[in-house]
Amino acid sequence: MKFFAFLFFLFIALSNFSQNHSLPALKYAYNAYEPWIDAQTMEIHHAKHHQAYITNLNKAIVGTKMEKLSIIDLLMYASFRSDAVRNNAGGHFNHSLFWDILAPQTSQTPISSDLAAAIDSEFKSMDTLRVKINQGATTRFGSGWVWLSVTPDKKLMVSSTANQDNPIMDVSKDRGIPILCIDVWEHAYYLKYQNKRGDYLGAIWNLIDWGIVSQKYNAALNDSLLVELEKDNWMELKDFHKVMAQTFHPAEKDNLEPLRKRSAELMAKSSLLLASKAPKSLDKPAVKVALVQLEKQCIEINKLNSKNASDLVLKKKITAAHDTFHKVQELCHD
């Protein structure tokens, strides 16, 4: 009996271990970031705020397929996730990167010549980059983050996002792999700097470990995620996908109501998709041919619907259009 109880607890322990996200340890003591960030802020920020994102992320995904997904997969398709997953997966990833790039001055490592050259060619100088990042941070209304990222065409980009969003998420306009970030939530600075975000921004530059940022720059340049981000950056495809999913799936179960209500919208989205500019790697004849066919099918569905075609006919047509859309998606992931 004891042996079975042991197995049972082992199973519970292992299953928790494999499914849960957990708080990464800080590389330095809470007081090592003084005087720029005080120990109390670091401790509350790490042990309370960051931990809360992780606890709530684990809660939001427990018992779902998302338990098995990497944090990157959770972020990539944020537009398809609940607000709880979007905010807490973002909160976990963003803070993990932030802690990673901060170091007390005595422990900092120098910037690589590759990153220094990329900064000079993209922003003219480190000083201009700093001004640009601080501008992004100052003008971010409310809570959010400012980022330095590597874009799919391997350039450096400064951007900012609201709340716990980040450049990996498909809800972001400017996408890339972040290599540096600054937290501009008030909880990052309020105890020491109160409402003076500018003073905090002045201080935080003393803590950035450019050697670590350089490592992240090299890793990002060779990361296959860059290719995925480029392919995924097609808003019109996502817009069409949503309407297709919300009309086709009910139709599969013989509920034609959503399609009857939204056939004009589906048609409009298919035209917008056909007219849109595809990401460079997907701009190929086979994709175009499939999109032309898809638009034709959506126009026909709308026409049949306006003539009150039977459920059976509409179901057959939306199934065929859905097959075409699947072909587009397959072509995109070749």
Positions in the binding site for Mn ion (CB under 5 A): 183, 185, 188
Q: Are 139 and 238 in contact (CB under 8 A)?
A: no
CB of 49 to Mn ion, least distance (A): 5
CB of 5 to Mn ion, least distance (A): 41
Question: Is residue 45 classed as helix, strand or coil in its secondary structure?
Answer: helix
> Among residues 101 and 118, whose Cβ is nearest to Mn ion?
101
Other Cβ atoms less than 10 A from the Cβ of 240: the count is: 27
Other Cβ atoms less than 10 A from the Cβ of 196: the count is: 12
For residue 149, list its beta bridge partners.
157, 178
Q: List b or e across 120-157, with b for residues whose CB sees 16 or more CB atoms inside 10 angstroms.
A: eeebeeeeebbeebbebbeebeeebbbbbbbbbeeebb
> Among residues 45 and 262, whose Cβ is nearest to Mn ion?
45
> Among residues 44 and 299, whose Cβ is nearest to Mn ion?
44
Amino acid identity, position 239: D
> Among residues 98 and 240, whose Cβ is nearest to Mn ion?
98
Distance CA 144, CA 221 (A): 25
CB of 130 to Mn ion, least distance (A): 21
CB of 191 to Mn ion, least distance (A): 13
> Among residues 93 and 248, whose Cβ is nearest to Mn ion?
93
CB of 96 to Mn ion, least distance (A): 11
